[in-house]
Each structure stands twice: as C-alpha cells, then as structure tokens.
Chain A
Amino acid sequence: DTGVSQDPRHKITKRGQNVTFRCDPISEHNRLYWYRQTLGQGPEFLTYFQNEAQLEKSRLLSDRFSAERPKGSFSTLEIQRTEQGDSAMYLCASSPQGAVTEAFFGQGTRLTVV
C-alpha cells in the first residue's frame, strides 16, 4: 500500500468554476477526513466519514462544498462556484477503526482560484 493518495496535486481554476478533488485512503482504513490549510496556518477540519457515512461537518464547510464517499472507499470533495477565498491546500487523511487511532495524510491538492 502506498499510503493516502490525492488527485490532482495542483489545480488552477477561474472564479465561479466548479472543481472536484479525489482522495484514496489507505485500503484497510474506514475513517476518512478532509482538511483545509491556508498559508501560515495549521490544517482545519472540514468533514469526516466512517465508511460511507458522513458523520461530521465543520461550520467551515459552506453550502458550496460537498463531499461523498459512495462505497466507503475513495472520497470526492466538490467546490461549486469557486471564490478566491477558496484558494488553499486541501488535505485528506485516513485512520483505522478504533477508539483512538493514528491518522495518515495524503500529499494534498493545492487549489488556486484566479
């Protein structure tokens, strides 16, 4: 297993366009998280899946953001009508089931909205 994989690594889009990112977690991990990181800050939690169920959403996840994990494996994060403030690094993490488990992160997708 090669770890958590994210695609694309970089995305430049015009304001108002929709974008979609993909995350493939470590295969035996049933928990999947999305985070957003802006310059000079630590990552901030966006949303969390356990298998295919989306169990928690941050207040940062506006109506323009939607995430899915249809078969409990890979996940997608879509941003509709992108704004310049959406420019950030989007990070995906996965962890195995258990009360308290270690999370592993992907390489991230760097989004630039022009």
Chain B
Amino acid sequence: GIQVEQSPPDLILQEGANSTLRCNFSDSVNNLQWFHQNPWGQLINLFYIPSGTKQNGRLSATTVATERYSLLYISSSQTTDSGVYFCAVNWRGSQGNLIFGKGTKLSVKP
C-alpha cells in the first residue's frame, strides 16, 4: 500500500510567524486533501489539491504530483491556527477512501 509521511510531527510557533508543513507519498495519487482537525475532533477541509497551487487567505498549498509531495504554507500564524494538520491521499489502488498521514501538531503561542 501507499505510505504517507508528514513532517515535522510537532511545530511550535510564535504568533505572526510563517511555517511550511510537508507531506510525502510513496506512490501515484488521484487526489490529495489537507485538513485541520480542531480541538473537538472535526476535520475541516483546507484544500483539495491533486496538483498545482491554491491559496485561501493566509493559507496556501502546492502539490507536485510527479515528485510525490505537497506543501502547506501558513503565513502570519494566529493562535486559532493551533491544532493538527493532516494530509490525505486517494490512492489509485483504492476505491475512493483516503489514506492519512500521522499529522503535524501545530501550537501557536501568543
């Protein structure tokens, strides 16, 4: 099966700092999504980005499918950005279910 690795596992930032989260995957994928899991456990959709670059406010994401990685950029971080960020891929060998990485736990300090 496909492996999805996220780095770093933990990240502590001062409010206002920028950060880059990385997601590597070991095989070709049909889809890639980034999620933010809030303290109550809900997965919030950030980006649906099988390839290319997208931006949404202070967040942007880039997926280079041919090199099997994706990056999530957070600029001018706020305390509300704290939580766990997950990358998930839809693998060509699956029927649409997502394979998740272990996540990056982000803590933004005031």
Give the residue name and chain of the B residue nearest to A105 (CB). Answer: B43
Binary per-residue interface labels of chain B (88-110) against chain A in the complex, 1 for a CB within 8 Å, 0 otherwise:
10100011111111110000000
Interface residues of A in 62-108 (CB under 8 A from B): 89, 91, 93, 95, 99-108
Closest approach, in angstroms, between the C-beta of B11 and any C-beta of chain A?
15
The interface on chain A, measured as residues whose beta carbon lies within 8 A of the other chain's beta carbons, has a size of: 28
The digit string for B1-43, where 1 denotes a CB below 8 A from any CB of A, is 0001000000000000000000000000011010100001111
Instruction: Establish whether residues A55 and B95, one from each chain, have CB atoms under 8 Å apart when the complex forms.
Output: yes
Give the number of residues in B that approach A within 8 Å (Cβ atoms): 25
Query: Across the two chains, which residue of chain B brings its CB closest to A41?
Result: B102
- The answer to whether the Cβ of A31 comes within 8 Å of any Cβ in the partner chain is yes
* Cα distance A91–B97 in the bound complex, in angstroms: 13
Which residues on B sit within 8 Å (CB–CB) of A48? 95-97
| Chain A interface mostly | strand
Contact A100 B90 (CB under 8 A): yes
CA distance A104 to B44 in the complex (A): 8
CB distance from A93 to the nearest CB of B (A): 8
| Contacts of A15-46 to chain B: CB distance below 8 A | 31, 33, 35, 37, 40-45
Distance A78 CA – B97 CA, assembled complex (angstroms): 20
* CB pair B86 A42 closer than 8 Å: yes
* Chain B residues within 8 Å of A105, by CB: 35, 42-43, 45
| CA distance in complex: A36, B88 (Å) | 14
Binding site for A on B (CB under 8 A): 4, 30-31, 33, 35, 40-43, 45, 48, 50, 86, 88, 90, 94-103
